[in-house]
Amino acid sequence: MIPTVKLNNGVEMPQLGYGVFQVPDDETRAAVAAALEAGYRSIDTATAYGNEGSVGRAIAESGIPRDELFVTTKLWNADQGYDETLRAFDKSLDLLGLDHLDLYLIHWPAPELGRYTESWRAFEKLYADGRVRAIGVSNFQPSHLERLGGEVVPAVNQVELHPYLQQREVRAYNAGHGIATEAWSPLAKGGDLLGDPVVKALAERHGRTPAQIVLRWHLQLGNVVIPKSVTPSRMRENLAVFDFTLSDADVAQLSTLDRGERTGPDPDTFNAV
Ligand SMILES: NC(=O)C1=CN([C@@H]2O[C@H](COP(=O)(O)OP(=O)(O)OC[C@H]3O[C@@H](n4cnc5c(N)ncnc54)[C@H](OP(=O)(O)O)[C@@H]3O)[C@@H](O)[C@H]2O)C=CC1
Ligand SMILES: O=C(O)C(=O)[C@@H](O)[C@H](O)C(=O)CO
């Protein structure tokens, strides 16, 4: 039901998944269970979200075969460095209750720390050892990617991306290097974007919701998306986007909305640990 994108190492990643940022730990198990019940098979979490254990419990209780799931987590900034990364990976895998991960991402470049290249060496070891099926980065600008070094080209770069922040330069760089672009906050956190007159007019014309129009725009650009919702009806709504298409003119109209407007931190200056 959910199409996949083929990553640069041949691994197939669902183009639409479920994100759990800001889902409180004690609500995550039920939220992920509802998402899996709705049909999601790709889950995006992070050490920083404090809910990996609850994601793991929901996965274990679902009874869904492991090879039908795609699980992503992310290395937090405080864990950057070679040995620190290896330890953080073990801890995440343990919390998730898994014997391998599908995708591991360096969460932020945190350039002031100056350690993401060491973390990438550790990622390459984890990948070579078969403990993770694909490795990638998040919030990396082209300048950060240029300095990554190593042997393995990241499979994914997960960045903030939506019609108000279209990341044309990052997307072009990713595409030119075989890196899949994954959009975080694909709905711009459910804020003004969903009430934008252009989005609303397209929603009315297609008989869809504003969120569905925005998700369809992403999918037609080739982005991987991971919308978050704790509301089961919205989980289902966000999945019901594979039975209609936007015209080229619709996509072009949405592409005029770019304001370069971030809802989250700037990767060049975000160094929190
Ligand atoms: N790598 C990184 O640095 C980052 C990664 N992420 C990842 O991306 C995921 C998604 O991003 P996120 O920041 O959560 O923002 P989203 O763009 O996914 O928006 C989530 C918000 O939109 C609301 N919403 C969801 N669906 C609908 C709908 N159909 N109609 C109206 N409102 C809707 C949700 O409300 P409600 O839940 O109440 O239904 C929630 O408030 C995260 O969960 C996380 O996994 C996010 C930030 C940074
Ligand atoms: O959600 C994420 O993945 C993030 O990295 C954000 O929470 C980010 O750390 C942030 O918004 C800090 O204010």
pLDDT, tens only, 88-99 = 999 999 999 999
Distances (CA, A) of 11 to 2, 6, 194: 15, 6, 33
Amino acid 231: pLDDT:
98
Q: How far is CA 260 from CA 104, 254, 257, in A?
A: 27, 14, 9
Model pLDDT, residue 126: 99
Chain segment 49-87, per-residue pLDDT in tens: 999 999 999 999 999 999 999 999 999 999 999 999 999
Is residue 47 within 8 Å of residue 92, measured between CB atoms?
Answer: yes
What integer pLDDT is reported at residue 68 of this predicted model?
Answer: 98
Given a contact cutoff of 8 angstroms between Cβ atoms, the answer to whether 225 and 215 are in contact is: yes
| Active site annotation includes 173 | no
Q: Which residue's CA lies nearest to atom 45 of ligand 1?
A: 19
CA–centroid distance, 21 to ligand 2, in Å, is 8
Q: Are 120 and 143 in contact (CB under 8 A)?
A: no
Q: Is the pLDDT of residue 1 over 90?
A: no
The residues lining ligand 1, judged by C-beta closer than 6 Å to any ligand atom, are 19-21, 44, 107, 138-139, 158, 184-190, 194, 209, 211, 226-231, 234, 237-238, 264
Report yes or no: 154 and 136 within 8 Å, Cβ to Cβ: yes
Q: Tell me whether 0.95 is exceeded by the ipTM.
A: yes
Q: Is 50 in the pocket of ligand 2 (CB under 6 A)?
A: no
What value does the mean pLDDT of the chain take?
98
pTM for this model (two decimals): 0.99
pLDDT at 185 over 90: yes
